[in-house]
Amino acid sequence: MNFINNLIYRKFFKKSTLVILLILCCQLKSQRTLTVGGTNWTVTIPSITEAGTNYAGTYESATNQVLLGASVPLLLGNGKISVHYQANPTWNSNLILQARRTGNGTTACVGCTLTGGTTYITVPLTTDVELFRINAILSLASYTNIPVQLELSGVSVTIPATTYNSLIVFTISAP
């Protein structure tokens, strides 16, 4: 009888452990967070005062125009920060948005790193592209005030004169 009880206990314990691990993994996955702060960027395009000239064509925001806060749980190891834009409501396809990470922000995490994103990448319309990654080694990777700079290029007299707006969307996911 003791042998049968022991066998039942082992089978139950193995199944219970598997269920607990699955629940734990699912809960940890939901702990990946991203917050976006900063201010709206209004590009000031200087007037053209001489016939036959064009605009400078490239304009940069402040180096900390967007401030990101992100956390990635230890057991998941890392998180991918991606970006895309949406016309809001009007955009011209000749205008090119780019983004780059200009610093590491603030963290108390020992052994955590940010990789990539320090050179401009073109931000696509509606489809995410990776900006940078967060890697957690020994603890929860929690960062605040990760600065992101934006760049607008393609400004030209050949683009119809109107107000163009876009909404830049940042996401965090597992790589």
Residue-wise pLDDT tens digits, 82-112: 999 999 999 999 999 999 999 999 998 888 8
pLDDT in tens, 54-69: 888 799 999 999 999 9
pLDDT number for residue 44:
86
Domain ranges of the chain: 31-38+54-173
More confident residue, 49 or 170: 170
Q: Which is nearest to 78 in space by CA: 111, 100, 54? A: 111
Instruction: Give the C-alpha separation, 28 to 37, whole Å.
Output: 24
- Contact 166/91 with Cβ under 8 angstroms? yes
- Contact 136/172 with Cβ under 8 angstroms? no
Over the chain, what is the mean pLDDT? 82
Instruction: Give the C-alpha separation, 125 to 40, whole Å.
Output: 18
